[in-house]
Amino acid sequence: MNKRISQYIAAGTLILASLLGSCKKDSTFKHQAGSAMTIDNFTPQSGGRSTQILINGSNFTSDLSEISVSINGKNLPVVGVNGNQIMVVVPKKCGSGKLTVKIGSDVIESSTEFKYYFTNTVTTVAGNGTAGFANGKGEEAQFNFNSPAWYRSSGIAVDNDLNIYVADPGNACVRKIDSTGMVSTLAGSPGNTGNVEGQGAAARFYLPYSLTLDNDGNVYVADVLNWNVRKVTPQGYASWYYGAPAEPWAVAYDKKNNILYLGCTNAGTIYKSTAAWSYELAVSGLPYAAGFDVDTDGNLIVTGHGDHTIYKITAGSWTRTLIAGQPNSGGYVNGPGAAAKFYYPWSLALDSKNNIYVATNGTVEGLTSAPDQSIRFIDATTHEVSTFAGSGNAGYLNGIGEAAAFSAPTGVCVDKNGTVYVMDKNNNRIRKIVSE
């Protein structure tokens, strides 16, 4: 993909040189207002950020100040024009869409869409690969996500100030990573387990696995072996929110309707709560619902860890609809939802457009031999499944798209800007994926 984009840029440079040359010959061409403009074609028809597009048509202008070009309402810088050609540059995060050319009050739209290819770049936010405990910036910090190997925390969330919160099971505490990459301990005492309310280091957790945030920045933590859900304020005070009816493995918060959802995976049940010490059964009989999130309509999107699937649970009726995956047939296959395959998907997160990001390796010991070590993407509209980053091979490598490597990604969240964060279990790191 990146080679293709580079070729487009190189080709565009040559076209631009030619276009600028022709502009000198045709420097006085003026648009005929009220007369029809045309877009005959454009090239290339696909590319990523910085791709240069040559638009061929008629009744344009040679005055750069008179013309604007956009895709999806996003302006494309115009770098060259003459009466019959326009050269523009694609901005980042432009998305796919038709080209719109505007000169004065005259507007024309292309008959076909430009296909935008996102570049998904993976980097490391914090952690140095060694299981342990240390606060500090970036790779100075240490987490313990995989010692012992049966830990399967999915607890990662991000607030509107871009602070990241992490459930650190091996250290029995909740960690915070600020927007500069500085890691601190929000609540709990590393290595000291218990079931104690308190401020910061005075609090005790036993096995924090999943966490979520409400509208006020409070963190709700599923503490598996204490069989309860804890509420941690932004200042770090941890209190009991309620006792769970079974081992609580996953939590999610509906910020629109102020509902906390709790998943007890062994029983295949999800409960809903609108107040402390109060909950009611929402849905049962799920195939090991290891992780879930809430879409903009209040529906639950759930990993069917037990049968390798992703489901939608419609709020109110609580009916279950298959989104992607083949029930009881695991693997690593992209494509239309019903044709795609997952391998014990563990957790997921939604962005503001209801696109789904799936952390895919929920095997008990985070097996490096598992066929899927990636973050998968499910389009909200078409349910087409693709690889967002990573591949079927376990490892540790920062890079672009499928060239990057994870080892048992178990947690995922998305911030307000669309940046994706990953709990990379066997690498004991928090990773970041920027899509542009």
- The answer to which of 130-144, 151-165, 181-195, 256-270 has the lowest mean pLDDT is 256-270
The answer to whether the beta carbons of residues 39 and 55 sit under 8 Å apart is yes
Q: What is the mean pLDDT of residues 234-256?
A: 96
What's residue 266's pLDDT? Answer: 67
Three-class SS string for 342-369?
CCCCCEEEECCCCCEEEECCCCCCCCCC
**Residue 410 contacts by C-beta under 8 Å, 6 or more apart in sequence?**
145, 152, 153, 154, 346, 347, 359, 361, 362, 366, 423, 425
In the predicted model, what is the mean pLDDT of the chain? 93
Q: What is the pLDDT of residues 193-232, one digit of tens each?
A: 999 999 999 999 999 999 999 999 999 999 999 999 999 9
Distance CA 385, CA 82 (A): 42
User: Which residues are bridge partners to 293 per DSSP?
Assistant: 301
**Residue 187 contacts by C-beta under 8 Å, 6 or more apart in sequence?**
173, 174, 198, 199, 200, 201, 203, 205, 232, 236, 237, 238
The answer to whether the beta carbons of residues 245 and 271 sit under 8 Å apart is yes
- Give the model's confidence band at 267: pLDDT under 50 very low, under 70 low, under 90 confident, else very high: low
What's residue 4's pLDDT? Answer: 45
pLDDT at 365 over 70: yes
Query: Residues 386, 391, 394, CA angle at the centre, nearest 5°?
Result: 150
Q: What is the pLDDT of residues 11-52, one digit of tens each?
A: 444 444 455 444 444 557 899 999 999 999 999 999 999 999
What's residue 28's pLDDT? Answer: 75
Reference 118, options 401, 405, 409; nearest CA is: 401
What's residue 27's pLDDT? Answer: 58
Please report which helix (H) or strand (E) contains residue 257, including its range. none
- Give the model's confidence band at 8: pLDDT under 50 very low, under 70 low, under 90 confident, else very high: very low
What's residue 14's pLDDT? Answer: 42
Distance CA 255, CA 299 (A): 12
